[in-house]
Structure 1
């Protein structure tokens, strides 16, 4: 994730914190300083750090459960609104999804129970339900926050754990894609109700409702891509007519291609057609501004773009595009020659066809009319590599 800083690695999982977390600490410092001076400010910051340690333990509850099922977690990122664990792959069965999702809240239950046991009879419900009040005992507030985390995460809406638990329960009876769609719609209904409630009582709920609503939509779309990907490979839908650039081409020639074709991304290939880099519309514009039309494409192209095998599933290409933060990926054959392109527009068109007809299934390259849009240059350039 952009703007995140690595804190360290625990059991093979990177722990990262988003830069905006510093803004939260500054805000907490200022608010508590106004209430009780430096002592209150230091205690407020210490409390927030303790809360996020509980969030880290919550995420490692998910990680431990995922590893039990053979799913690794490359990293977790701490955000001002909570933690985000990135699983290497999705769970294979409803049982795996249920166990992994519920493991996090169970960690918070254990933390709250441990604090209550240690403090004993000194805690009352008024203390546990007032974690925002700095006048309440530190441990009592921490126990209250963990109780809140359990309740909040069990709301049956994505991306909270409750939404994944709901999907797991539905998936015992329904196909995975259908269970995801139904769980997402339930979550969006809850988000709308939360937003309406926030209008009258707490504006913060409106922001949370917006986040939950769009997170549910993203989850549903991801499930649809997965459903299509199960029956379709990149070979069936990739763009097969496209223009390329040679490594000795100039930025000005890339500009000509950008204006002469409907493409936004151009693979840079050697004389044998092997992939060397990618020029995007944004990269071409930036190169023109910073280096000029005479700059070499090989000096400004992106070299960190991964290439995909033509037999790869569609959802894998989408994952790689997000991780590489690129708008397109080259598809290569067994000889590492570029034979196609995948971009967000192609995937979007595939999704539109799927929504138009739930029984839609790509025809494949062995048919005369492939489903995916073919990028057809208005002026044909097979390979630009002018001296």
Structure 2
């Protein structure tokens, strides 16, 4: 995810923090400082950091359960509205999806049990209603938030945990695409409700959550339809075959001329042995200064970690490769390993539209 920074890796899952999370910390610290002084600012900031540590554990619960079913979690990103675990794919078995979805809230239940049984936290209705009050015990506030995380995540607002359980339950009785569409529509209705409550109650955070749920639900529905269409298709079906390639020893000035001659946003870099070496994007070329374009070589500026598939690779494998991160495309080679074309997100979308007609 753009504007996020890595803070470490846990069992192959990278933990990232979005830049806006630091804005949240700064806002909490300044507001508390102005209201009650530096002591309250430090306590409130520590409280927010502790809560987001619980959120990371929640997301790692999803990741660890997904690992049991052979599903990797490339990264977890911390946002001001919570955490986002990016699974490389969603299991086809609804029961597995349910177990992955409930694993996160179960982690929060375990945290609450530890805080109440071993640290003596007493969670009351007053604690749930006054979480911002530093007069309440620190441990009590953390325990209360974990209970709220459980309750909130189990709301059937797809793609939240409860919405995923709802979708998986529907998938036991109807096809997966239809189940996703129904769950997405319910999620968007819930988003409108959250937005209304946020506007009437003066809660910017609830409005942010509503916007996230609305667009995420639509994106999940579109992805499910795309995945359904991809069954039976091959990489060759969506491959770009008419393109201008670059060589590793070309200068960026040569690449700049290619930008002017073509409408390509990505330029595959091919070695003398016809093997794929990497990909150079239009954005990188345009960002280079005049002196750099004259002296720098394509090999130094290209993206090397570009996924590669064969011509006969299932389209599902192409979509999985696209989901690995912010990659510019997927390279396609023949059985001999020679580069023959590439696939981008844009032409995947075009292939999807044309394949429906």
Instruction: Tell me the TM-score normalized by structure 2.
Output: 0.88
Displacement after TM superposition at 1:97 (Å):
0.4
For the 8 Å contact 2:280–2:302, the answer to whether it is kept is yes
1:37 aligns with 2:19: no
Residue-by-residue CA offset, 1:189-224 (whole Å, 9 max, x unaligned) = 211232233332224132221111111111112212
Provide closer, same or farther for how the CA distance between residues 126 and 227 of structure 1 changes in structure 2, counting only shifts above 3 A.
same
Provide closer, same or farther for how the CA distance between residues 310 and 199 of structure 1 changes in structure 2, counting only shifts above 3 A.
same
Correspondence 1:193-342 to 2 at 5 A? 193-204=193-204, 205-287=206-288, 289-292=290-293, 296-321=297-322, 323=324, 325-342=326-343
Displacement after TM superposition at 1:118 (Å):
5.2
Q: State the SS of the aligned residue for 1:291.
A: helix
Displacement after TM superposition at 1:234 (Å):
0.7
Is 19-28 or 289-298 further displaced after alignment?
289-298
1:95 aligns with: 95
Displacement after TM superposition at 1:147 (Å):
1.8
1:130 aligns with: 130
For the 8 Å contact 1:74–1:86, the answer to whether it is kept is yes
For the residues of structure 2 that align with 1:123 and 1:183, how far apart are their CA atoms?
33
Displacement after TM superposition at 1:164 (Å):
0.8
Is 117-126 or 306-315 further displaced after alignment?
117-126
Provide closer, same or farther for how the CA distance between residues 34 and 327 of structure 1 changes in structure 2, counting only shifts above 3 A.
same
1:63 aligns with: 63
Displacement after TM superposition at 1:98 (Å):
0.5
For the 8 Å contact 1:16–1:75, the answer to whether it is kept is yes
Q: State the SS of the aligned residue for 1:278.
A: strand
Displacement after TM superposition at 1:148 (Å):
1.4
For the 8 Å contact 2:73–2:86, the answer to whether it is kept is yes
For the 8 Å contact 1:127–1:136, the answer to whether it is kept is yes
For the residues of structure 2 that align with 1:279 and 1:57, how far apart are their CA atoms?
37
Is 265-274 or 234-243 further displaced after alignment?
265-274
Displacement after TM superposition at 1:16 (Å):
3.5
2:354 aligns with: 353
For the 8 Å contact 2:81–2:208, the answer to whether it is kept is no
Residue-by-residue CA offset, 1:40-63 (whole Å, 9 max, x unaligned) = 222212222221222122223223
For the residues of structure 2 that align with 1:168 and 1:129, how far apart are their CA atoms?
33
For the 8 Å contact 1:321–1:328, the answer to whether it is kept is yes
For the residues of structure 2 that align with 1:290 and 1:315, how far apart are their CA atoms?
42
2:158 aligns with: 158
CA RMSD of aligned residues (A): 2.7
Structure 2 unaligned regions, length at least 5: none
2:81 aligns with: 81
Displacement after TM superposition at 1:90 (Å):
2.1
Q: State the SS of the aligned residue for 1:223.
A: helix
Provide closer, same or farther for how the CA distance between residues 289 and 203 of structure 1 changes in structure 2, counting only shifts above 3 A.
farther
Provide closer, same or farther for how the CA distance between residues 316 and 124 of structure 1 changes in structure 2, counting only shifts above 3 A.
same
Displacement after TM superposition at 1:251 (Å):
4.0
Provide closer, same or farther for how the CA distance between residues 310 and 134 of structure 1 changes in structure 2, counting only shifts above 3 A.
same
Is 265-274 or 283-292 further displaced after alignment?
283-292
Residue-by-residue CA offset, 1:58-84 (whole Å, 9 max, x unaligned) = 223223322332334343333322222
Provide closer, same or farther for how the CA distance between residues 99 and 253 of structure 1 changes in structure 2, counting only shifts above 3 A.
same
For the 8 Å contact 2:331–2:342, the answer to whether it is kept is yes
Q: Which has the larger radius of gyration?
A: 1
Displacement after TM superposition at 1:179 (Å):
1.1
Provide closer, same or farther for how the CA distance between residues 160 and 281 of structure 1 changes in structure 2, counting only shifts above 3 A.
same
For the 8 Å contact 2:159–2:184, the answer to whether it is kept is no
Residue-by-residue CA offset, 1:261-306 (whole Å, 9 max, x unaligned) = 3433222223342222323222332346452467544444333333
Q: State the SS of the aligned residue for 2:15.
A: strand
For the residues of structure 2 that align with 1:333 and 1:296, how far apart are their CA atoms?
27
Structure 1 unaligned regions, length at least 5: 358-387
Residue-by-residue CA offset, 1:157-188 (whole Å, 9 max, x unaligned) = 23311121111111101111221121111111
